[in-house]
Amino acid sequence: MGDPSKRDLVSIEDLSTEEILELFQHADEFRANLSDWSDVCRGAIMATLFFEPSTRTRLSFESAMLRLGGGVISAADKESTSRAKGESLADTVRVVGGSYADILVVRHPEDGAARVAARYARVPVINGGDGAHEHPTQTLCDLYTLWKEKGRLEGLEVVLCGDLRYSRTIHSFCYALARFGANIVTMPYAGFELPDYVLHRLTRDYGVQTVAASVADLPGLAGSSNAAAYLTASKPHQLALFTSLTRFEVNRIDAIYMTRAQRERHAGEDTANYPRLGRNTLGVEAARDARVMHPLPRVDEIDYDVDDDPRSIYFRQAELGVPMRMALMAFLLGKIQLRARPPAATSVEPGIAGGAGLRCRNERCITNNEGVRYLQRDFRLRAEESPPMLACAYCEREIEARFVAQESTRLFHPHAAPAVQAIEIAKRIYFESEAQALAAGFQPAATA
């Protein structure tokens, strides 16, 4: 299943903070004259496998590879691929990621699909967006744009507005902003709040503290302000004074990141009063130096008369995607070297087999869809908490394992039982419930 030494970009966590900053420097070099780099990847072929619609992501990748001197082959319509005949993603990438292409960019509607592609392909895989999971190259472009506009990322006050639940771009961006020490203000449309599993990961992995926030009046966005929250890893002592009755005041905004309602991922939910940013939004003092960002495509959430405001940089975001993706592909293909160290552990490592009964709760996860045919359910131990927390190795959705069993004895125990400590971690079998364990043929230790 692929070369263990190859580098993929499935999650933004697959790059260290230092590597990201170094890639920004390379992107600057490429951007200085886009036509000067046609020998960097000469002879290399990139395949774009897009099983969901895309304009900017696919075309910017293809433009980036052509500017590096490589070639492009593309499957841009799922109905014209063998997926329409029932072929699995694993089989597709094993065929295309060989003599056909040297690097793959995959977009897929199921959460965790990019991880499957990375495991089965022999060549580097880049996640072009997998379901509602992550979109790491969009995050690189967003960070790069913000870094160029503000000269730094640490300490920035970034407002995220709109559909925070289903936007994979938002999820990747949150993790990256927390890593770089930026502060996040969430202003979701009602019912589209940041998912609990994203908040939990921000708290556990980055020490982010969350309190209710009061955001300076932003016309057009004010309908979201009742649910506003302030997320920061840099102001824990200040935030200790605030409660739900004394909200943290946000009076300075460095960027407003708007998102459209992700209608392709939800059906029948009312978006009639969805927030809309207009000139009056940018007229308030708190937004005087704010930059307006959007991953595009825009629908109705930003008025067109905002486009000529110098603070509106969403089209620049799209433009900067080309040099940023040039730098990334040149790196993954080994054409440029980074001095920075990679992450201590990449997020594509296999973990704990869940074939005995553990099942990912995320119905959009590839393991609960096409992967049922060929994937072994696989989980990683996040932390020895009480109860232990495991994450699906594909979509990263977390599960509490309240019972632990051992294959040799066919017995299961409550997670806190002393007998569990005697079982090697590699030999533990985890279950969410007694019913799961019993269904898998295990018996409770107390009555065996």
Q: What pLDDT does residue 210 have?
A: 85
Residue holding tokens 């959007």? 294
Q: Of 202, 269, 204, nearest to 229 (Cα)?
A: 202
Asked if residue 4 is part of any domain, the answer here is no
Q: What pLDDT does residue 274 have?
A: 85
The reply to whether 222 and 196 lie within a common domain is: yes
Domain range enclosing 404 = 352-447
Asked if residue 50 is part of any domain, the answer here is yes
**HSE value, Cβ hemisphere, 13 Å, CA-based, for 263:** 10
Q: Is 132 helix (H, G, I), strand (E, B) or coil?
A: coil
> Which one-letter amino acid corresponds to residue 85?
K
Q: What pLDDT does residue 233 have?
A: 83
Tokens of 177: 């902003």
434: CATH: 2.30.30.20
Q: What pLDDT does residue 29 have?
A: 97
Q: What pLDDT does residue 216 have?
A: 73
Asked if residue 3 is part of any domain, the answer here is no
The reply to whether 105 and 48 lie within a common domain is: yes
- How many domains, in total, are found in the chain? 3
Rounded mean pLDDT for each run of 10 residues along the chain, 448 residues in total: 77 95 97 95 96 87 97 78 75 92 96 95 95 91 96 94 88 93 91 87 87 78 70 74 69 92 70 85 89 91 94 95 97 96 63 67 93 89 76 89 89 91 84 90 78
Asked if residue 5 is part of any domain, the answer here is no
Q: What pLDDT does residue 355 have?
A: 54
pTM of the model: 0.88
Asked if residue 60 is part of any domain, the answer here is yes
Asked if residue 46 is part of any domain, the answer here is yes
Q: What pLDDT does residue 350 have?
A: 46
Q: What pLDDT does residue 444 have?
A: 93
The reply to whether 83 and 146 lie within a common domain is: no
CA–CA separation, 10 vs 396, rounded Å?
12
Q: What pLDDT does residue 102 have?
A: 97
The reply to whether 249 and 229 lie within a common domain is: yes
**Final residue in a domain of this structure, among 268, 301, 332:** 332
237: CATH: 3.40.50.1370
The reply to whether 204 and 119 lie within a common domain is: no
The reply to whether 148 and 291 lie within a common domain is: yes
Q: What pLDDT does residue 52 have?
A: 85
CA–CA separation, 47 vs 45, rounded Å?
7
The reply to whether 306 and 389 lie within a common domain is: no
Asked if residue 195 is part of any domain, the answer here is yes
